[in-house]
Structure 1
Amino acid sequence: MATEDVNGRHRPGPGGLRVRTDPVYVRRRRAVAAGVGVLLLVLVVWLAVWLAGRDEADAAGGQDAPGVAAPAPAPGDETSDGDAATGDTGAKADEAEADDEAPTSEGPPPIWQREPVPNELPSDTTAMESVDYLTGGMTPKSVMSSDHGLMIANNMMYSHTSTVFDSVTREQVAVLDDALDLSEFGVEGHPGVSQGSPVEAVWTADGRYAYVSQYTMYGENFGVQGFDACTQDSGVGPSFLYRFDAEEMAWDQVIKVGAVPKYLEITPDQSTILVSNWCDASISVVDVEKAEETKVIDVNESPRGIAIMPDSNTAYVVAMYAQSLFKIDIEAGTSELVMNTTLRPRHLNLTEDGSTLYMTVSSANTIYKIDTATDEIVDEVSPGLEPRSVTMSPDETALYVVNYNEATVAKIRTSDMTVIDKRNVDADPIGIDYDPVTNTVWVACYNGSIYVFDDQSTPL
């Protein structure tokens, strides 16, 4: 037990520590204790920060804590981004790259997005072999390939339908009625339901859309209905193009053009459609993006066949009852006479490079070969009685033509304009086209049938 001396200081008990209680010493002890407390607080804070840094690094997958230098990469361990690789990062990157390159499990493309199959044999060395005969609900006036897996057959105008086929399975996938409420497409002045009358079609290069000419319109405020002997003074009213969307399998757009539109063609750059207006003796110039007629070019009586040069500005047009071949300048909106022809020029085909034009003159039973550099006839052939529509093989070695008054389809070698094959079909064959997805030729007969001929299986 400590005892207090006379001066107020404690004295230690036996074996005890003497603690001085003078004010000065008390202040010194308090200062030292405060200093020690601050030091301990600093140590605690530092330790907490260090531990937190370690936790963040672990959560981030082993990244270095702030302020700690990363170890230098060993040779060959650098990643493609130049960062140091750790552990099996390189192996994981290789696995990820392999996954990116692995084929996906996606199914086949939609039926309107198939790709053409190149000919294994030149078309001028093969015979046509009948592989199918399609009937049922059709009176086809024309048939056109999308070049990507679909065919559209436009039935005789009084049938008021277009039939769409899968060119691979040859099954009907849609039947399109030409009765539309035009106000739903932004066209005013024709209340109620209007009917069209399909004639010909042209597809966009990607196979997504087909534009179909409507010979005449039936309904309110269309004027005189179209007829083949009409002239510019007959009072026949304007008609329309309908656009078919292959993805939606439906009409999705209508475009006003001239009176009795028959044939139509799209420019190679896909910007413009030309339409031959039979009664107006003119060509409608349609802006594809605007979906409207932007210009009308005069030609002559009863224009029909159209072929457009690779420049997407120059086109050839036949005026059927005027016995004339014209050349037009789309941008300038002008036309010039190229030549007078024999009776009833009807159809035109052009090689991809624009060097050669084929002109079918139906009442002369002749197809003429024309050099476009000089616009002169360089060869000709008589394939049968009243040749009408013509198509060309993808390799351009053969033409295929329907002979309307002979009920045949003929194949012509383009190099020397010789008939190399001919097949019988039903009466009144009038439409024809080549499908490059299946390498088949489709022939439309007015009486209600379509023949399909294989073009690659049988050598001549």
Structure 2
Amino acid sequence: MRGRHRGAQPGEVRISQDPVHVRRRRAVLGGVLALLLAVVTGAGVWLTGAWRSGDDTTVASVGDISGGTGDGALADGAGPDGAATTSEGAEAASVTAEQTPEPDPVWQKEPVPNELPSDTTAMEPLDYLTGGMTPKSVMASNHGLAIANNMMYSHTSTVFDTTTREQVAVLDDEIDLAEFGVEGHPGISQGSPVEAVWTADGRYAYVSQYTMYGQNFGIQGFDACTRDSGVGPSFLYRFDAEEMAWDQVIKVGAVPKYLEITPDQTTILVSNWCDATISVVDVEKAEETKVIDVNESPRGIAIMPDSNTAYVVAMYAQSLFKVDIDAGTSELVMNTTLRPRHLNLTEDGSTLYMTVSSANTIYKIDTSTDEIVDEVSPGLEPRSVTLSPDETALYVVNYNEATVSKVRTSDMEVIDKVDVDADPIGIDYDPVTNTVWVACYNGSIYVFDDQSTPL
């Protein structure tokens, strides 16, 4: 039987090689291929029509199928426009991508309204931040950043993302003033960051430099200085949150401490500790345009909604002053107990809160009469204070007690108190995360949640 084909066994498929059968199979296969080609061509025409009718999502899928390069099978004859179909699909894919919202830049986040009134909640520890800091102050931008200023002990300003609580920039206070157009101080100059104020849009923070180190600055600043001490002028540095860098410097008085910006964003007031003056800085011109006399060791500043009237405390003169910015004048409002330090003002300007540190007291003042209407003793040596966005609560650091107190503003009662590290000195409220940030001189920042736990 050698040389003959064996018959099909059970389970096998026998394919005939007879020329007639081969021709038949080829004819059937050709018909199937023709049918498939017609189906694919028809789908391409339908998809092209869908795009022309405004179905961006459909064409974005086409772009994905073809790989977005114009080399895909669908592009090679998908319709009467040929390769143009692929180009149109790519454009549509781009439109679709543009419709996906980009996340806000870190400095452009929006505040989140409180779900609970702040005078009904407890402060809950959320985070404890350390690393290269000796913060004199911490100030939130209200748009997603906070800046901690580390004075001469670390010579830096540390910028945080308040959502992640990660450091996003560490700014050295060494600069070449000549690069900013300032002459007379050749070489590298060094500052000493103290306090900051942010612009309303969260783009810029102005940081006061307690004293300057370098060429031709005179005597270095010190807390017991007076006008006759020979301490030289200092500067504000401006931080650009988009560039994450210093971008401007402005000369002011000797040992600038606190600073505040007018509600209309045109003017910055700076308390010059050694000069017993207030610098008036024109934001647009980036220069000091006026100097207003007050009294010994001015510090806290609060500006009324009219952007012209301001309150200023003179710590060692035990005095509260009212300043007329346009006129360049000041008048005594009241003599206080020992060492008035910080001021907070309600948004409508009706109520002023004044911290008097050596009296262990916060006073509530009616600005229509400039009279004290209530008070509270929150702890030992209260220093910096911040208001909740809904203005129902004050948060104050008690420097000699290593605590933070929360005060209900309606009746000036302490409703919560938490422990922190030694020497708490700075505090602010971040409305993006509804958290309270507390700076301690020993090198730490506490972050407290203000909304999770009812009292």
Q: Would you call these one fold, judging by a TM-score over 0.5?
A: yes
Aligned to 2:395: 400
Counterpart-to-counterpart distance in 2, 1:181 and 1:431: 29
> What amino acid maps onto 1:246 in structure 2?
A
1:156–1:446 CA contact under 8 A, matched in 2:
no
Q: Residue 202 of structure 2 is aligned with which of 199, 203, 207? A: 207
Secondary structure of the residue aligned to 1:137 is: coil
Q: Residue 268 of structure 1 is aligned with which of 259, 263, 288? A: 263
Per-residue deviation, 1:102:
10
Asked if residue 157 in structure 1 is aligned to residue 152 in structure 2, the reply is yes
TM-score w.r.t. the length of structure 1 is: 0.79
Residues 80-135 of structure 1: per-residue CA shift (max 9 Å, x gap): xxxxxxxxx9x978779xx9999822320110000000000000000000010001
Secondary structure of the residue aligned to 2:358 is: helix
Calculate the aligned-residue CA RMSD, in Å.
Answer: 2.0
Aligned to 1:293: 288
Aligned to 1:386: 381
Secondary structure of the residue aligned to 2:178 is: helix
Counterpart-to-counterpart distance in 2, 1:165 and 1:110: 13
Asked if residue 336 in structure 1 is aligned to residue 334 in structure 2, the reply is no
- The runs of at least 4 aligned residues of structure 1 exceeding 3 Å deviation read 91-96, 99-103
Which 5+ residue runs of structure 2 have no aligned equivalent?
A: 1-48, 57-91
2:320–2:333 CA contact under 8 A, matched in 1:
yes
Per-residue deviation, 1:242:
0.2
Structure with larger Rg: 1
Q: Residue 282 of structure 1 is aligned with which of 277, 284, 297? A: 277
Q: Residue 129 of structure 2 is aligned with which of 115, 134, 144? A: 134
Aligned to 2:252: 257
Residues 294, 93 of structure 1: CA spacing in aligned structure 2 closer, same or farther, 3 A cutoff? farther
Q: Residue 120 of structure 1 is aligned with which of 112, 115, 118? A: 115
Counterpart-to-counterpart distance in 2, 1:158 and 1:118: 36
Asked if residue 457 in structure 1 is aligned to residue 452 in structure 2, the reply is yes
Q: Residue 169 of structure 1 is aligned with which of 164, 167, 172? A: 164
Aligned to 1:231: 226
Counterpart-to-counterpart distance in 1, 2:303 and 2:52: 55
2:134–2:153 CA contact under 8 A, matched in 1:
no
Aligned to 1:374: 369
Counterpart-to-counterpart distance in 2, 1:293 and 1:408: 38
TM-score w.r.t. the length of structure 2 is: 0.79
Counterpart-to-counterpart distance in 1, 2:153 and 2:248: 22
Give aligned-pair identity as a percent. 88
> What amino acid maps onto 1:454 in structure 2?
D
Q: How many residues are matched?
A: 373
Residues 372-398 of structure 1: per-residue CA shift (max 9 Å, x gap): 000000000000000000000000000
Secondary structure of the residue aligned to 1:140 is: coil
1:198–1:214 CA contact under 8 A, matched in 2:
yes
Per-residue deviation, 1:136:
1.0
Counterpart-to-counterpart distance in 2, 1:345 and 1:293: 26
Q: Which structure 2 residues correspond to residues 7-156 of structure 1 after superposition, within 5 A?
A: 104-156=99-151
Q: Residue 425 of structure 2 is aligned with which of 419, 425, 430? A: 430
Secondary structure of the residue aligned to 1:252 is: strand
> What amino acid maps onto 2:258 in structure 1?
Y
Counterpart-to-counterpart distance in 1, 2:54 and 2:157: 53
